A = this chain, B = another copy of it.
Amino acid sequence: MALDNPTLQKAVTTADKVFYAILHAIVDGKIAAGSKISEPGLAKQYEISRSTLREALNRLEKCHLIERKANVGSRVVDCTIEGLLEIYVVREALEGMACREAAINMSDDEIAEMQDMLAQHANAQDLIDGVAYYQEEGDLDFHYKVILGSHNQQLINILCGQLYHLVRMYRIQFGMHSPRATRAFEEHSNIIQAICDRDGELAEILMRRHIAASRKNIEKKIALQNSATQ
Contacts and interface: CB of A to CB of B under 8 A. Distances in A.
Contacts of A153: 83, 86
Contacts of A87: 154
Interface in A96-132: 96-97, 101
Interface stretch (A58-66, A172-180, A216-224): A58-66
A152 B94 contact: no
Contact of A90 (B16, B83, B158): B158
A157 interface: yes
Contacts of A12: 70-71
A63 to B, nearest CB: 10
- Taking chain A's interface residues, is the majority helix, strand, or loop, or is none over half, making it mixed? helix
Contacts of A32: none
A89 interface: yes
Interface in A145-168: 152-155, 157-158
Report the 10 A-B pairs with minimum CB-CB distance, sorted nearest first.
A93-B97, A58-B58, A93-B93, A86-B154, A90-B154, A12-B70, A86-B152, A13-B70, A62-B62, A93-B94
25 contacts: A12-B70, A12-B71, A13-B70, A13-B71, A51-B51, A55-B58, A61-B62, A62-B62, A64-B154, A64-B157, A83-B154, A86-B152, A86-B153, A86-B154, A86-B155, A87-B154, A89-B152, A89-B155, A90-B152, A90-B154, A90-B155, A90-B158, A93-B94, A94-B94, A158-B158
